[in-house]
């Protein structure tokens, strides 16, 4: 059988940290897991004072992983980072680096020919971020642009479902001396998701640094080719993972998705603050599930509140990119893998207008 990263993580989850008693994965000791040509490299981060006592764990990891199918050799590296010496002079603005920032590989970069990267974000889950990301990508493609779509939601990848690509797996190809992942094509869009790299639809149990590394590699190690826009469906939230991804990927701009509901808008404000702190321009806010048109009584209902995101955009002094109605057709189209921007005239216009507004704000930067 070929090597499986999920099997490797399962094995590592059974090895305990001698100091805390927790497994080394949940204890945050696993910094990276790299497999290439039968060689599995494991990087464990530990405190300098614990280095000597961790040697038995290193050997245990090496022996356990060597039993996995497809692994010919295991290299286990222990890294420890000492704190920098204190200095008397205090900087006014201390650098805000990402301690888990992945390193770019040498050679050809898969994202080298992408003109603009747009992050689609929501601090709160369940507001339709992926639906907006997919239909925005299709709307841009309908306008003659070369578009890519990257599913950065490692724990809950939904792009394969919404794009009608369940069960599809990724392949690789040689590009200028490097073996890169070949993105799949659907609806005239290049698509990449962690769902194309896993064997089933079970949960992916990874900690923050591994999530950041996986997404960065799907940007750098995927042969995206020439693109006008790469749309990134970001994972929900405003924690270390989101901040790290924002710093690593460095999008040209971000779009915040929210419903009109006060609870969602409170999280939208957190997302807006996060992007400002990492110096990423906010292109605007999209109001999803804005209104519901009753087919029986011909009246409009504002189920989650009226104009909440529009009013919030004014308060935050960011552009209002448009609204998306709450419609059965949008939900059904996502479940069936045929996004509404492909075929529905009204739905296509909604996302076409949002795409035009987004491009306009991006070009004004």
Q: What is the pLDDT of residues 229-270, one digit of tens each?
A: 999 998 877 666 667 667 777 889 999 999 888 777 887 888
Residue 62, phi then psi, degrees to nearest 5: -60, -45
Structure tokens at 180: 């890169």
135-158 pLDDT, tens digit each: 999 999 999 999 999 998 776 788
| Residue 185, beta-bridge partner list | 190
Q: Please check whether residue 149 is in contact with residue 219, taking contact to mean a CB–CB distance below 8 angstroms.
A: no
Structure tokens at 245: 């991804």
Q: pLDDT tens for residues 179-219?
A: 888 999 999 999 998 888 766 554 444 444 555 667 777 88
State mean pLDDT over 262-285: 84
pLDDT, tens digit, for every residue of 288-301?
998 888 878 878 88
The pTM is what?
0.69
Which residues neighbour 62 within 8 Å (Cβ) at sequence distance 6 or greater?
42, 74, 76
Instruction: Give the span between the Cα atoms of 119 and 241, in whole angstroms.
Output: 14
Percent of the chain with pLDDT over 70: 84
Who's near 313: CB < 8 A, 6+ residues apart? 284, 285, 319, 320
Domains and CATH numbers, the chain: 5-79 (3.30.300.130), 114-363 (3.40.50.300)
Residue 88, pLDDT > 50, answer no
pLDDT in tens, 16-67: 887 777 888 777 778 778 888 788 888 877 776 666 677 788 888 888 888 8
């Amino acid at each position: 059988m070929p090597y499986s990263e999920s099997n490797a993580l399962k094995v590592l989850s059974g090895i305990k940290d001698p100091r805390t008693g927790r497994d080394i994965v949940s204890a945050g000791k696993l910094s990276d897991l790299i497999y290439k040509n039968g060689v599995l490299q494991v990087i464990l981060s530990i405190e300098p004072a614990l280095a000597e006592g961790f040697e038995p764990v290193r050997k245990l990891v090496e022996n356990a992983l060597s039993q996995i199918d497809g692994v010919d050799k295991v290299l286990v590296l222990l890294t420890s980072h000492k704190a920098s010496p204190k200095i008397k002079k205090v900087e006014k603005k201390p650098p805000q680096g990402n301690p888990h920032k992945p390193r770019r590989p040498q050679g050809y970069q898969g994202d080298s020919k992408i003109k603009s990267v747009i992050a689609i974000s929501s601090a709160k889950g369940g507001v339709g971020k992926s639906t907006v990301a997919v239909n925005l990508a299709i709307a841009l493609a309908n306008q003659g642009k070369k578009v890519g779509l990257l599913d950065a939601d490692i724990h809950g990848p939904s792009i394969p479902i919404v794009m009608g690509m369940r069960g599809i797996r990724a392949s690789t190809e040689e590009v200028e001396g490097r073996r890169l992942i070949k993105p799949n094509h659907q609806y005239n869009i290049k698509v990449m998701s962690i769902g194309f790299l896993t064997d089933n639809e079970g949960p992916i149990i990874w900690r923050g640094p591994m999530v950041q590394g996986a997404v960065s590699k799907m940007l750098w190690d995927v042969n995206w080719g020439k693109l006008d826009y790469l749309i990134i469906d970001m994972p929900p939230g405003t924690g270390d993972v989101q901040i790290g991804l924002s710093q690593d990927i460095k999008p040209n701009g971000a779009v915040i998705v929210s419903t009109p509901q006060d609870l969602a808008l409170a999280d939208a404000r957190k997302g807006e603050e996060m992007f400002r702190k990492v110096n990423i321009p906010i292109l605007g806010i999209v109001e999803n599930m804005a209104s519901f048109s009753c087919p029986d009584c011909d009246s409009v209902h504002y189920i989650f509140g009226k104009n909440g995101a529009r009013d919030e955009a004014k308060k935050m002094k960011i552009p209002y990119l448009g609204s998306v109605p709450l419609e059965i057709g949008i939900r059904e189209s996502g479940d069936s893998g045929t996004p509404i921007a492909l075929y529905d005239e009204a739905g296509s216009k909604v996302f076409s207008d949002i795409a035009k507004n987004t491009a306009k704000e991006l070009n004004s930067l």
